[in-house]
Amino acid sequence: MVDSLLGAVELGLLYAFMALGVYITFRILDFPDLTVDGSFTTGGAIAAVMIVHGYSPWLATLAALAGGMIAGLCTGLLHTKGKINGLLSGILMMIALYSINLRILGKPNVSVMGEDTLTSLVRPLYVMPVIVIIVKVLMDLFLRTDLGLALRATGDNSRMIRSFGVNTDNTTILGISLSNGLVALSGALIAQYSSFADASMGIGMIVIGLASVIIGEAIFGSGSVFRATLAAVLGSIVYRIVVALALRVDWLDASDLKLITALIVIVALVFPSIRRHYKQRNSARKRTAALAQQVMKSQKGGAADAKAR
């Protein structure tokens, strides 16, 4: 039990980069980017193929990051310069990447079993927290620079930031590119961790990414950028723990797995809003009571005061 929970934390940390990537597009740019399903596999494919060909896993992982950034760049160009609707440009890139990924892999499934990989050199559980925190802090710092602020403003109020002379096309392209770079990095690490890259490994990734971001926000809040990126990382871990636990519910059939995962996520999301609702009702009641008291006081006038003395 403890072992598989640790494993879930490990997986969550490896998927955390993807959650951060999805946070950039989904929350900062307000851009629903479906490229993720393709670029995740791109990262895994580049890393696996390079490792099999004898390159160092460090170089392979960096190349995967670059590959993901190029994929994001293409989506950004389609959307900004090609004036294609955001959702559609992501979808187009996603289906184009399916074929491109097969080209990169050369066959549908490339195994790196027995090769030296980043995750075989050292157990990810010990180093990943540090690396994830470093990446998260770097991202926080970047979002505080002028360029980062312009990026955030692009999602919030593009008209305003354009009036300040910022080219929102460029900030959009940069954001999507960064996001998919992080996603591909995640894919590269997962491919090394699971010892194979598969043409179907990215399918459903965007759902996991969104779930991670939203669960994180529901549980850990999203008041500031610092908090929101932390929430994305923790949300990714919580999501993997949820799946690990869903697998342990014995009286359910194997075919119920996705349903259970969905239900648990729904509970996590609905619970805070129910609590908020009751809180509001309580505070409303208190206020009504307080007001009523005041009214009573003012009606009784000074008599009550005199009694109190």
Partner 1 sequence: MKKKRIWLGISLCLMLVAAGCGSNNNNSGAGASSAPAGTVGAAGTAAPDTKTYKIAVSQYVEHPSLDATYDGIIAALKDAGIEEGKNLKIDFENAQADQANNLSIAQKIASEKNDLVIGIATPPAQALVQAIKNDTPILFAAVTDPLDAKVVTNLEHPGGNVSGASDTNPEAITRLMDFIATQFPNVKKLGLIINEGEPNAVVMADKAKAALDKHGIELVKAPITNTSEVKQAAQSLVGRADALYITLDNSVVSGVDSIIQVANENKLPFFSSDRDTVEKGAVATVGFKYYDHGYQVGQMAVDVLKNGKKIGDLPVTVQQKLDVILNLKAAAAQGVEVTDAMKAAVTDQANDIIQ
Q: Is 3 a residue that touches partner 1 (CB under 8 A)?
A: yes
- Does position 281 interact with partner 1 (CB under 8 A)? The reply is no
Residue 206 touching partner 1 (CB under 8 A): no
Piece in contact with partner 1 (CB under 8 A), picked from 62-70, 134-142, 193-201, 283-291:
193-201
Provide the total of helices (H) and of strands (E) in the chain, helices listed first: 13, 2
Q: What tokens does 85 get?
A: 């609707």
Burial of 5 (0-12, 13-18, 19+ CB in 10 A): middle
Q: Which is nearer to partner 1, 131 or 269 (CB)?
A: 269
**Phi, psi angles (nearest 5°) of residue 109:** -145, 115
**Which residue number, 168 or 192, has a Cβ lying nearer to partner 1?**
192
Among 19, 36, 199, 233, interactor with partner 1 by CB under 8 A: 199
Query: Which two three-digit tokens encode residue 239?
Result: 């999501």
Alpha-carbon distance values, 284 to 17, 164, 210, 271, 279 (Å): 42, 43, 34, 20, 8
Q: Say which amino acid occupies 103.
A: R
How far is CA 194 from each of CA 32, 43, 119, rounded to the nearest angstrom? 28, 14, 9
* DSSP E strands, 185-270: 196-198
Q: Does 116 bind partner 1 (CB under 8 A)?
A: no
Binding of partner 1 by 53 (CB under 8 A)? no
Identify the sign of the CA torsion 57, 62, 64, 67: negative
Q: Choose the binding region for partner 1 from 4-12, 78-86, 176-184, 297-305 (rule: CB under 8 A).
A: 4-12
Binding to partner 1 (CB under 8 A): which residues in 214-243?
218-221, 238, 240-243
Q: Choose which of 81, 258, 285, 287 interacts with partner 1 (CB under 8 A).
A: 258
By rule CB under 8 A, what count of residues binds partner 1?
Answer: 59
Residue 19 interacts with partner 1 (CB under 8 A): yes or no = no
Q: How many CB atoms lie within 10 A of CB 85?
A: 13
**Contacts (CB under 8 A) with partner 1, residues 89-108:** 95, 98, 102, 107-108
Binding residues for partner 1, per CB under 8 A? 1-4, 7-8, 11, 15, 95, 98, 102, 107-109, 111-114, 190, 193-196, 198-205, 208, 218-221, 238, 240-251, 254-255, 257-258, 264, 267-268, 271-272, 275
